[in-house]
Amino acid sequence: MSLNTIQENRVAIKSQSLRKVPTLSLRDYTHGNENQRNQFILGLFNGIKDYGFIILKDHSVRTELIERAYEILERFFSQPVELKSKYISPRNDGQRGYTPFGKEHAKDSQVMDLKEFWHVGRHHEGNPNIWPEEMPEFKLIFSQLYTELENAGITMMEALTGPLNVEKDFFKKMVTNGESILRLLHYPPIGDSVDPRCLRSAPHEDINFITILPSATASGLQLKDRNGEWLDVVSDPHTLVVDAGDMLARLTNDVIPSTTHQVVNTPEGKYKSRFSMPFFMHPISEASLKCLPSCKSKGELEKYPEITAGEFLTQRLIEIGLIKK
């Protein structure tokens, strides 16, 4: 299904109210007939283009694995700060191991987000993963979750290759052995002394290609739709939430824009922790984010200068406070 065909189909989509994030079945793409596959491709492309998010059901990420991961996450983040701080990466870039509460902020924000987190990445000799020795099951469970979320992401990105007029393995080659990150997030209860300007996660756009998010343990996630209005993202425990990031926006010349979203301070959040496990799908560092030919009309200028994924990632990590200039 080409980009032109999809644009023709968007006329009907645009006439509808953009007030509910579309839900798609990945099984329609992997095991469906031709019509079901095409409808999935159309729904995915239009969903992340016109809403910024889609909700994915019938995927291959095991629900029992997600449930076990949240159990381990809650136990780990209940440990004393002194124990967790043993696992801050010596590289001090927040890309592996533990990042303490109040370290990260949204781009251009003057206050810190109300969160702490742990990063699991692909094993590199120069940047190996860090694992808490007190919890041997941590490595097993989160390595499995990383792999299953990555496989789901590769399948979804393959479905975008037709609309973007690139080879079917285009994205797979870009992300295989790439810099994808599984972020294990804890948003603690919000005390009365917290700066009222602070949110659990201030409005921001993700850095990567796409983000795949198992349903969090509490509400609070909102996206800003293409009408500029905040929309609650509600999903059940068996689904994944998917959104587009800055790298995909650059690659497509904003044909697929990056989506602004936030995690707000809900009333129940004052007394209750929130846990979340987004998977950020990144390409290999040397991959070029130069605009795809199919995403630039004749005579149209490229919106962004050419840059590699590694250069762009470093630039953004500085902007959000994880790397010092």
Distance CA 28, CA 90 (A): 44
Is residue 10's pLDDT more than 50? no
Percent of the chain with pLDDT over 90: 64
Mean residue pLDDT of the chain comes to 89
In a domain, 264, yes or no: yes
3 state SS of 156: helix
Helix-, strand-, coil-residue percentages of the chain, each rounded to 5:
35, 20, 50
Residue 161 sits at the vertex; the CA angle it makes with 159 and 165, to the nearest 5 degrees, is: 145
Residue 268 in any domain: the answer is yes
Res 324: pLDDT:
74
- 321 and 110 Cβ atoms separated by less than 8 Å: no
Does 123 fall in a domain? yes
* Per-residue model confidence (pLDDT) at position 104: 77
Residue 12: pLDDT over 60: no
CATH number of the domain at 55, please: 2.60.120.330
Residue 89 is assigned to a structural domain of this protein:
yes
Give 214-226 pLDDT, tens digit per residue.
999 998 899 888 7
When computed from its CA atoms, the radius of gyration of the chain, rounded to whole angstroms, is 19
Torsion, Cα of 290, 296, 300, 302 (10° steps) = -20
- DSSP 3-state of 158: helix
pLDDT at 107: 81
Residue range 40-65, pLDDT digits in tens: 999 999 999 988 889 999 999 999 99
Q: What residue numbers bound the domain in which 314 lies?
A: 19-319
Question: Closest by alpha carbon to 40, among 24, 55, 54, 53?
Answer: 24
pLDDT tens digits for range 149-188: 999 999 999 999 999 999 999 999 999 999 999 999 999 9
Per-residue pLDDT, averaged over 210-214, amounts to 96
Q: What is the pLDDT of residue 4?
A: 55
Separation of alpha carbons 182 and 14, rounded Å: 34
The answer to whether residues 280 and 207 touch, using CB atoms and an 8 Å cutoff, is yes
pLDDT of 172 = 97
Give the model's pLDDT for residue 19: 61
Considering the domain boundaries, does residue 176 fall inside one? yes
Mean pLDDT across 82-101: 88
Amino acid at 306: E
What are the backbone angles phi and psi of residue 31, rounded to the nearest 5°? -130, 5
Q: How confident is the model at residue 3 (pLDDT cuts 50, 70, 90)?
A: low
pLDDT-based confidence at residue 305 (cuts at 50, 70, 90): very high
CA distance 189 to 192: 10
Q: For the whole model, what pTM was predicted?
A: 0.90
In the chain, DSSP finds a helix count (H) and a strand count (E) of 9, 13
Return the pLDDT at 308.
97
Q: What is the pLDDT of residues 121-160, one digit of tens each?
A: 998 777 899 999 999 999 999 999 999 999 999 999 999 9
Confirm whether 14 is domain-assigned. no
Q: Does pLDDT of 203 surpass 50?
A: yes
Buried b (16+ CB within 10 A) or exposed e, 110-144: eebbbbbbbbbbbeeeeeebbbbeeeeebeebbee
Burial of 258 (0-12, 13-18, 19+ CB in 10 A): buried
Q: Give a yes or no: residue 46 inside a domain.
A: yes
Enter the tokens of residue 252: 């497509």
Does residue 255 sit within a domain?
Answer: yes
| 2 band by pLDDT with thresholds 50, 70 and 90 | low
From CA 198, how far away is CA 271, in angstroms rounded?
16
| pLDDT at residue number 202 | 86
Counting the structural domains of the chain, the total is: 1
AA identity, residue 232: D
pLDDT above 70 as % of the chain: 93
**149/156 Cα distance (integer angstroms):** 11
Residue 109: its pLDDT value, please? 78
pLDDT score, position 225: 81
Is residue 276's pLDDT more than 70?
yes
Burial of 37 (0-12, 13-18, 19+ CB in 10 A): middle
User: What gap in Å lies between CA 91 and CA 160, rounded to an integer?
Assistant: 35
